[in-house]
Structure 1
Amino acid sequence: MSPSGNRIERMVQLVRTGEITVFVRRAREFEPADLADVLSALDEQERLIVVQALPPELSSQALAEMPEEEHAEDTLAALAPERAAEIVEALEDDDAADILGELDPVQQERILSTLEHRAEVDQLLRYDEESAGGRMTTHTVTVRDTATVAEALEDIRRQAEEIDDFYQVFVVDGDRRLVGLLPFKGLVVSRPDRRVREFMTAADIAVSPDLDQEEVARLLARYNLPSVAVVDDAGRLLGRITFDDVIDVVEAETTEDLLKFGGVPADEELAAGWREAVRSRLPWLYVNLLTAFLAGGVVYLFQSTVQRTVALAIWMPIIAGMGGNAGTQALAVTVRRLALGLIPRQMLARVVAKEVLVGMVNGLAIGGVVGIVAALVGEQPWLGLVVFLAMAGNLLVAGFAGGFIPVVLERFRIDPAIASSIFVTTFTDVCGFLLLLGLAGWLLL
């Protein structure tokens, strides 16, 4: 166990032996993420004891860092409304909205009714949790475009007392419309009586509150921004999204896509029991079973060919398996590029053509090897040629399927991460069996 793991285990033991005073004292030395790990290792009743004992600012930081599947909102809902409100008050408004948004309306209102800064949290709760509005914080550092450097510095000092971190200073007009960004260097080197509008930079990049969080993440990564402004239709500043918020988005989306790619529903939680796991995965296994019947049907059509040349049975799983692997490679690359928005519409045909070319070259290389082996170990001299052609053809088909199917699904607004693998595997299995058994049957005529 790592040193960090040992510390967490010792903290858990303190709770379980009733040494809560010692726990609270030592908790002050923990980073919020590590304290969240401690809470995650406790059962619900132990977690409740700890959250009630810790100062509100420590409890809030730990709850905000807990993974979604640990349901920090359940702990919050189990507290008395006054205590829950103290913890929520200590949260950043975007974190407060994230946690409260998971509660049912009655529990939500019970806590919101006691909040001092309810208006800010209510504003964020109106937006979808996976949109820019749901991710933003309304706490921003702003200065008026008419302010002097001296006035701007005073405004920044005053606002910074209420904000933990800020990476940009937004310049707004009298109607709070975003008109620019204040460069820190200009603020430092300019005369105290110089107007902010004289050296502010253009605020070319801002996002709508309805923009999907993945698009926000791409924007910050593309332009290497520390944060981005969120504005309404009139250009008025609503809030900001920082790069650390985006890290959470990227992690969540990557996990979701990985689960989908494996045919596991994205909402299956790590802490779910075996019954929930079976319930979420079984439907996709039934779909896979249906597609497997299609491949089995192809073999059934050629059963007389297989009976006459039993050696074909050896090569069937090899050709189908290699086709599936090649298709998955092409699929993974294409789905990733689609997810990152790296494939413009005018380049879709080029992407598919590239995967077909890769599949053809790989097919010739792999097909040559297995064809030689089949010719050397088989009793029929034509078997090597059949295996070579079937392998080469199936890898070419795999490249086409891996590049084409996710693009088509994307066009029809079907998530390619969750649906593509089933179609690609079926496509390569069916084509592999058709090529191998069809060519063998033709040569046996």
Structure 2
Amino acid sequence: MTATSAADFDVDPIDELRDLLEGGSEARLRAFLDGIQHGSDLADLLEQLEDEDRVRVLQLLAPDDPALAAEALAEMEPDEHPEDSLAALNAVQIAAVVAELSDDDAADMIGEMAPADRDRVLAALPHQDAGDIRDLMAYDEESAGGIMTAELVTLRVNQTAAQAIDEVRRQAHGMDEFYGIVFVVDEREVLQGTVSLRDLVTADPSTSVRELVQDPIAVVLPETDQEEVGRVVSKYNLTIIPVVDGGGRLLGGVTFDDVIDIIEAESTEDLFKFVSVSAEEEVRGGWVDAVRLRLPWLFINLLTAFSAASVVYLFEDTLSKVSLLAVCMPVIAGMGGNAGTQALAVTVRRLALSSERSGTPWNVVGKELLVGATNGLATGLVASGAAFLLCMATGANVLLAVVVLLAMLLNLTVGGFAGAFVPTVLERLGVDPAVASSIFVTTFTDMCGFFLLLGLATELLL
């Protein structure tokens, strides 16, 4: 049978699947599932089903095609809680599906279960598999140890090329995934390096593996943060990076497909933080949960907004005499906030990529200050022209155009400076710059914008 993706069905596959689950025969449902050859397609369908229907599909697949069931569970988004569907299966079905999961995926999934479900699932597994999964679950889930797989092909340095080829064949046969990277260890399991399959098959059969081994390009410790792991893998274009303990003993490896998931998860988390939304909020979560997670940040924003508004109160007399200032205030503050947000996004991205940690991050602050000043001059000229026309139309003092120009120039300069300075300082203090930067930058540019506009107006117009 040729491979079929969910997009290849004539009828919307989710509608057909729902119909089959509601009233179709089991034979037709099995035939439908047989037409799905890739776990990601099945994962897309499962995510659109109710929990009980997900379990029914997995119960059908577990005896006949546990590999597809396992792949679908691994491909599901974490906030869809695939672990709940796995825990709902019986012991035999659980053992069949988990046997097809990579050990790191199994550890992640089982680690998310309630303690009672976790114990029941582990009890359904072979003793060795359960022990391996428990070992992985002991690591922080966002560390290299928490995302590594222990399924590696390893050779001894004292083996010959002929022995090594037989050993690679034996070990790879029982693995779910093999990326063609062979690790070489000594008798104490200390990593010596890697050897390529090409070198093994082209070498003289009697050649020692010791002569073929190459030093590892990079290694990470089990406690290394997953974001740092992703940076190293991306930097060196690695397929898999070895994880070693403090003594250099090989513990496992982090594969590039896990790194892709890490990058996606970290990007999503940073995006949520950037707009002051908790990463815990789920797409399918209820409105009560959304309110609970968002409201604290809104209260913080409310306090900072009052702080910015207090500046306006200081210039109450100026506003009463030059009413057109009320029209210009949101323009100056908004443009400064936009400039600050632009600088903030670029700086946070640079910090996330570590491109400035080993260099001179203050050069970035200087650059953003210059960018803000240049943009402030350009937009200030346009805004002052509009203010001049407004003054001519209303008979107001045309010096208001000069006030607008200066306020725009200075506030965008402040915005560029704050957008780069705040996250840089927070990073140096050990605070995630994506979490708190936007609130500080927005408040700062609002306060400065109001103060500059009203202060300059007080000096030049009154």
Alignment of 1:237 onto 2:247? no
What residue is the counterpart of 1:27 in the other structure?
33
The structural deviation recorded for 1:85 is 2.9
Aligned partner of 1:146 among 123, 146, 158: 158
In percent, how many aligned pairs have the same letter? 51
Question: Do the aligned residues in 2 keep the contact of 1:334 with 1:402 (CA within 8 Å)?
Answer: yes
Question: Do the aligned residues in 1 keep the contact of 2:156 with 2:187 (CA within 8 Å)?
Answer: yes
The structural deviation recorded for 1:373 is 2.1
Structure 2 counterpart of 1:271, one-letter code: R
Aligned partner of 1:386 among 403, 417, 441: 403
Alignment of 1:10 onto 2:22? no
After TM superposition, the runs of 4+ consecutive aligned structure 1 residues lying more than 4 A away are 1-5
Deviations 1:49-94 (A, max 9, x none): 1111113322222111111111111122222334323322221111
SS in structure 2 of the partner of residue 169 of structure 1: strand
Unaligned runs of 5+ in 2: 1-5
Alignment of 1:247 onto 2:260? yes
Unaligned runs of 5+ in 1: none
What is the total number of aligned residue pairs between the two structures?
445
The structural deviation recorded for 1:2 is 5.5
> What is the alpha-carbon distance in structure 1 between the residues aligned to residue 459 and residue 187 of structure 2?
81
More displaced 10-residue stretch of structure 1: 428-437 or 202-211: 202-211
Question: Do the aligned residues in 2 keep the contact of 1:12 with 1:41 (CA within 8 Å)?
Answer: no
The structural deviation recorded for 1:271 is 0.9
What residue is the counterpart of 1:443 in the other structure?
460
Question: Do the aligned residues in 1 keep the contact of 2:400 with 2:461 (CA within 8 Å)?
Answer: no
Aligned partner of 2:50 among 38, 43, 62: 43
Structure 1-normalised TM-score?
A: 0.97
SS in structure 1 of the partner of residue 243 of structure 2: strand
The structural deviation recorded for 1:3 is 4.7
Alignment of 1:91 onto 2:101? yes
> What is the alpha-carbon distance in structure 1 between the residues aligned to residue 90 and residue 153 of structure 2?
34
SS in structure 2 of the partner of residue 228 of structure 1: strand
SS in structure 1 of the partner of residue 291 of structure 2: helix
The structural deviation recorded for 1:345 is 5.5
Matches of residues 178-189 of structure 1 in structure 2 within 5 Å? 178-189=191-202
Deviations 1:331-362 (A, max 9, x none): 00001111111112651211111111111111
> What is the alpha-carbon distance in structure 2 between the residues aligned to residue 105 and residue 245 of structure 1?
25
What residue is the counterpart of 1:304 in the other structure?
317
Alignment of 1:429 onto 2:429? no
In structure 2, relative to structure 1, the CA distance for the partners of 1:424 and 1:20 (3 Å cut) is farther
Structure 2 counterpart of 1:388, one-letter code: L
SS in structure 1 of the partner of residue 376 of structure 2: helix
Aligned partner of 1:403 among 393, 415, 420: 420
What residue is the counterpart of 1:115 in the other structure?
125
> What is the alpha-carbon distance in structure 2 between the residues aligned to residue 229 and residue 305 of structure 1?
66
What residue is the counterpart of 2:3 in the other structure?
none
SS in structure 1 of the partner of residue 430 of structure 2: coil
Deviations 1:156-199 (A, max 9, x none): 11111111332210011111111011022212321111111112
Question: Do the aligned residues in 2 keep the contact of 1:133 with 1:210 (CA within 8 Å)?
Answer: yes
More displaced 10-residue stretch of structure 1: 44-53 or 323-332: 44-53
> What is the alpha-carbon distance in structure 1 between the residues aligned to residue 460 and residue 373 of structure 2?
23
Deviations 1:23-47 (A, max 9, x none): 2233233210111111111101111
Question: Do the aligned residues in 1 keep the contact of 2:273 with 2:434 (CA within 8 Å)?
Answer: yes
What residue is the counterpart of 2:350 in the other structure?
337
Question: Do the aligned residues in 1 keep the contact of 2:102 with 2:176 (CA within 8 Å)?
Answer: no
Structure 1 counterpart of 2:70, one-letter code: S
Aligned partner of 2:174 among 118, 141, 162: 162
Structure 2 counterpart of 1:230, one-letter code: V
Structure 2-normalised TM-score?
A: 0.93
What residue is the counterpart of 1:214 in the other structure?
227
What residue is the counterpart of 2:110 in the other structure?
100
